[in-house]
Amino acid sequence: MRQGPGRDLAQELLAMAAEDEAVRAELVADGSLFDGYHSRMAEVHRRNATRLDAIIDAHGWPGRVLVGEDASRAAFVVLQHAIGSPAVMRRGLPLVQAAAMDGDVDPVQVAMLEDRILSFEGKPQRYGTQFDWDEDGLLNPLPIADPADVDARRRAVRLDSLAENVARIRANALRDGHQRPENPAARHEAAASWARSVGWRT
């Protein structure tokens, strides 16, 4: 059994991710999750981001060696959802990259975090993991740099093909009741304005 600070951190990280998941499930159930960035979800994300930042200060990145596989994955979920805290997400990227080099985290986490940061910055992503509704009302990947080679990059980190991912993301959206917005262009502008307001873009 994991002992000492690693055990305590593991329990805390698992609880943080569980709260995130529970609030998301409630908002999916009442249909309000997809009406912009819900204030309840944002509050959980902010609180978790602040705590994760403190954990990093004290312990470095909580990878598999320190907290075990499940809690390390929970830490990544917290980081990936810290969208209102750009400094925390940007701080985490090189830490997760270094941990992946040491085998302490799954390289998929690096790909997903890098894509999310690039997309929030308004730049093309590399692996096609970030999605939104396009002008034709289809749920598609946000812009991808060098799209002809995206599947090769995905294979390198053990992701399935982009086509398979598109099918899965669309199926999940249908399951969760995530429907096409009435005005995709207005949604994109609102997202860009929010990204500027929290410091992702200038």
Is it the case that residue 62 has pLDDT exceeding 90? yes
- Among 77, 105, 133, the domain-final residue is 105
Which residue in 90, 70, 83 sits closest to 16, CA to CA?
Answer: 70
Same domain, 26 and 58: yes
Same domain, 78 and 155: no
Same domain, 5 and 96: yes
Determine the residue type at 164.
E
pLDDT confidence tier of residue 31, bands split at 50, 70 and 90: confident
As a whole number of angstroms, the distance between CA 116 and CA 125 comes to 7
As a whole number of angstroms, the distance between CA 116 and CA 128 comes to 10
pLDDT at 4: 64
User: Does 113 reside within a domain?
Assistant: no
Percent of the chain with pLDDT over 90: 87
- Quick one: tokens of 153? 């990059």
User: Does 74 reside within a domain?
Assistant: yes
Which of 87-96, 98-107, 141-150, 173-182 is least confident?
Answer: 173-182
Same domain, 78 and 152: no
Largest separation between any pair of C-alpha atoms in the chain: 53
User: Does 114 reside within a domain?
Assistant: no
Residues spanned by the domain of 10:
1-105
Same domain, 196 and 165: yes
Same domain, 132 and 87: no
Neighbours of 12 (CB within 10 A): 18
As a whole number of angstroms, the distance between CA 132 and CA 91 comes to 25
Same domain, 2 and 51: yes
pLDDT confidence tier of residue 35, bands split at 50, 70 and 90: confident
pLDDT at 142: 97
User: Does 6 reside within a domain?
Assistant: yes
Same domain, 163 and 200: yes
Is it the case that residue 1 has pLDDT exceeding 50? no
Same domain, 131 and 59: no
Same domain, 146 and 97: no
User: Does 111 reside within a domain?
Assistant: no
pLDDT at 137: 86
- Among 105, 136, 151, the domain-final residue is 105
Q: Are 69 and 102 in contact (CB under 8 A)?
A: no
The residues near 130 (Cβ < 8 Å, ≥ 6 apart) are: 115, 116, 119, 141, 142
User: pLDDT, tens digit, for every residue of 88-127?
Assistant: 999 999 999 999 999 999 999 999 999 999 999 999 999 9
Number of domains the chain is built from = 2
pTM value is 0.94
Same domain, 86 and 173: no
